[in-house]
A and B are shown apart, each in its own frame.
Chain A
Amino acid sequence: NAGVTQTPKFQVLKTGQSMTLQCAQDMNHEYMSWYRQDPGMGLRLIHYSVGAGITDQGEVPNGYNVSRSTTEDFPLRLLSAAPSQTSVYFCASTNGGALTEAFFGQGTRLTVV
């Protein structure tokens, strides 16, 4: 049972480049979310989805897009990378909304130069 799988694990981008962080879960969870983690800041919610075809903004959505075409996949797109987006990104899923046990992916460490 793979759980939540994120790819890539590491990525270096140049300012202005775009890329997609992949997230897939095999637990048939309806709720999925993307967080960024910065030193001293804890986790901050970027976007979330309560089911296929439904997405919404979190606390820090600017510069990021998401889509949810299937229950399993929830990709995060950086439109035009900026150094301020240097962070560790985590994808998570739950089977009962944001207020139940979350299962996190292993994270993607992104550096924008």
Chain B
Amino acid sequence: QQPVQSPQAVILREGEDAVINCSSSKALYSVHWYRQKHGEAPVFLMILLKGGEQKGHEKISASFNEKKQQSSLYLTASQLSYSGTYFCGTEWSDSNYQLIWGAGTKLIIKP
């Protein structure tokens, strides 16, 4: 069963903030975040490990909530270049060291 991403889609004005959630029904070991622009390959953003610290670069950061089995991706003061579909890949104890991917969250940034 794949992790659930929410929202499925979000439309923002440039400069606004967004939060994308990735929730798992199973205990998470790690969560991987990628962004994919239309017609392009997914591009790595960051990995969060169970028990690890919140990570981020520039205005994109993420957290890992063990109690909720959820990771959240934060996009602050969004830029037009942030548009795309964001995917989380999750590692579980029984996923045989492979990632199980969410269906994605489509983010549209308008000027």
Verify that A and B bind, or say they do not. Answer: yes
Q: Which residues of chain A have a CB within 8 Å of any CB of chain B?
A: 4, 40-45, 48, 58-59, 90, 97-107
Asked if A99 and B30 sit within 8 Å, CB to CB, the answer is: yes
Q: A48-B98, A104-B42 are in contact. Are A42 and B47 (CB under 8 A)?
A: no
Interface assignment of B40: CB less than 8 Å from any CB of chain A: yes
User: Which residues on the A side are within 8 Å of B41 (C-beta)?
Assistant: 4, 90, 104-107
The dominant DSSP class at the A interface is loop
The 6 closest A-B CB pairs, nearest first, are: A104-B41, A42-B101, A43-B101, A101-B44, A42-B103, A98-B98
Q: How far is the CB of B30 from chain A (nearest CB, A)?
A: 6
Contact with A along B33-77 (1 / 0, CB 8 A): 010000011111001000000000000000000000000000000
Q: Which residues of chain B have a CB within 8 Å of any CB of chain A?
A: 2, 30, 32, 34, 40-44, 47, 87, 89, 91, 97-104
User: Which residues on the B side are within 8 Å of A107 (C-beta)?
Assistant: 40-41
Q: A97-B97, A99-B30, A104-B42 are in contact. Are A43 and B47 (CB under 8 A)?
A: no
Q: How many A-B residue pairs have CB under 8 A?
A: 49
Bound complex: CA A98 to CA B30 (Å): 11
Q: How far is the CB of B62 from chain A (nearest CB, A)?
A: 14
Asked if A45 and B98 sit within 8 Å, CB to CB, the answer is: yes
26 contacts between A and B (CB under 8 A): A40-B103, A42-B2, A42-B87, A42-B102, A42-B103, A42-B104, A43-B87, A43-B89, A43-B101, A44-B101, A45-B98, A59-B100, A90-B41, A90-B42, A98-B97, A99-B30, A99-B32, A99-B47, A99-B97, A102-B32, A104-B41, A104-B42, A104-B43, A105-B41, A106-B41, A107-B40
Asked if B42 and A41 sit within 8 Å, CB to CB, the answer is: no
Bound complex: CA A103 to CA B43 (Å): 7
Bound complex: CA A101 to CA B78 (Å): 24
Bound complex: CA A51 to CA B25 (Å): 32
